[in-house]
Amino acid sequence: MTFSQIQGNARVKAALLSMVREQKVPHALMFHDEDGGQAFSLCIAFLQYLYCPDRSAADSCASCPSCNRISKLIHPDVHIIFPTASSTLSEQYMASFRELFASNPFFTSAQLSSQLKLESKKQMIAVDEAKRLLSVLSLGALEGGYRSVIVYLPEMMNAEAANRLLKIIEEPPAKTLFLFIVHKREKVLSTISSRCQHIELEKMRPDDYGVESFPSPELYDSLIDALCSRDHLAALDVAESLSALPSRDLARAFVRYAAFRLRSLFLAGQGLSEGSDAQDGRRAAALPKSFPRKALSCLDMTYSRMELNVNLKIMFTDLVNKLYSLI
């Protein structure tokens, strides 16, 4: 993941580049971002740039061993923790986490829960995670450079875990960096927040998701309206229209566009007016509350199948049938 692959947030990217070039990297950064935003991708691009031995003034080289390993989330000196079920650790789920990031770098917290199969379980960052992290950081960097920790959703860290980490966050060993990604800043423990430099990310626009090139948004509207009306035949008619798109690139663009629109539907279903409109409110009321989250998982699977050159008619018919089964 390079900075050039991330649209928007030019101000944030410039600030991160400047930190590295001027050798003024803070020991703890907290990114305030909307759910499904760019924070995680920006963190990976930032670390890739920080670790890259062949970086330019504006980006990492994207081809050296360090860049390759960071982009695949397998660098031995980059550690990622995120909420999991009680008594389990992030490292137990890293294979699934990597799969999700590879298929959808702008994943939502609900998509992560679905990917890890933890939707029905209480999730948190517990004290065992903090203990393991302290043990890892007590050792030197395996490659002699920076050691970095990405903490996804520190607002879900319990007080015991936070207290364990306070000292090392405040006074970390040399070349140890913490990157926090926050969606609900008011729920972050003040003792953690006060030790970080804060970065506010811009809200993403449709073109930041790569969806502005899809020319027929009415296909999405027709599909969702058919699902709201429980009209299976009308939904299958939309699948027929999607399979007739003139190129696979447009088919991919539809899936990206639908994923973007479902984010607004999700917000409406949660009673959050920001980012949604009256039409989404009506649709959210007609669909199960879990529909946007589960539908996003269906879209992720469809997008993956496109890379395998599956027949478009079969693929979109299967997608519509799966979406219909969710209502």
Q: What does the pLDDT look like over 230-252, one tens digit per residue?
A: 999 999 999 999 999 888 878 88
Where is the domain boundary, 153, 172, 204? 204
Same domain membership, residue 217 and residue 200? no
What is the predicted pLDDT for the residue at 221? 92
Same domain membership, residue 232 and residue 266? yes
Span 159-188, average pLDDT = 92
Same domain membership, residue 160 and residue 144? yes
Cβ(171)–Cβ(99) under 8 Å? no
CA distance 280 to 273: 10
204 falls in which pLDDT band (50, 70, 90)?
A: low
CA dist 145 → 46, 135, 247 (Å): 15, 18, 45
Query: Both tokens of residue 298?
Result: 């269906």
CA dist 101 → 51, 85, 87, 96, 288 (Å): 20, 20, 24, 9, 26
Same domain membership, residue 259 and residue 165? no
Q: Name the helix (H) or strand (E) containing 218.
A: helix 218-228
The total of structural domains in the chain comes to 2
Q: Name the helix (H) or strand (E) containing 14.
A: helix 10-21
| Weakest mean pLDDT among 142-146, 168-172, 217-221 | 142-146
Q: Is the pLDDT of residue 208 over 90?
A: no
What pLDDT, in 10s, does the model give residues 281-299?
899 999 998 898 889 888 8
CA distance 146 to 237: 54
pTM of the model: 0.69
* Helix, strand, coil fractions of the chain, as percent rounded to 5: 55, 10, 35
CA distance 218 to 175: 51
Q: Name the helix (H) or strand (E) containing 197.
A: strand 197-200
The string over 84-114, giving b where at least 16 C-beta atoms fall within 10 Å of a residue's C-beta and e elsewhere, is: bbeebbbeebeeebeebbeebbbbbbbbbbb
Residue 101: CATH number of its domain: 3.40.50.300
Same domain membership, residue 51 and residue 196? yes
Using alpha carbons, select from 320, 322, 325, 327 the residue that is nearest to residue 236: 320
What is the predicted pLDDT for the residue at 63? 94
Scanning the structure block, which residue is given the tokens 């479902």?
Answer: 262
Q: Is the pLDDT of residue 214 over 80?
A: no
Residue 305: CATH number of its domain: 1.20.272
Same domain membership, residue 261 and residue 172? no
Residues paired with 149 in a beta bridge? 79, 178
Q: What is the largest CA-CA distance in the chain?
A: 62
Domain limits for position 319 = 211-325
> Where does 104-217 have alpha helices with state H?
109-116, 127-137, 159-170, 190-193
What is the predicted pLDDT for the residue at 130? 94
CA distance 14 to 10: 6
What is the predicted pLDDT for the residue at 30? 97
Side-chain-side CA neighbours of 17 within 13 Å: the count stands at 15
What pLDDT, in 10s, does the model give residues 84-131?
998 899 999 999 999 989 878 888 887 888 889 887 788 999 999 999
Same domain membership, residue 220 and residue 199? no
Helix (H, G, I), strand (E, B) or coil at 220: helix
CA distance 137 to 151: 14
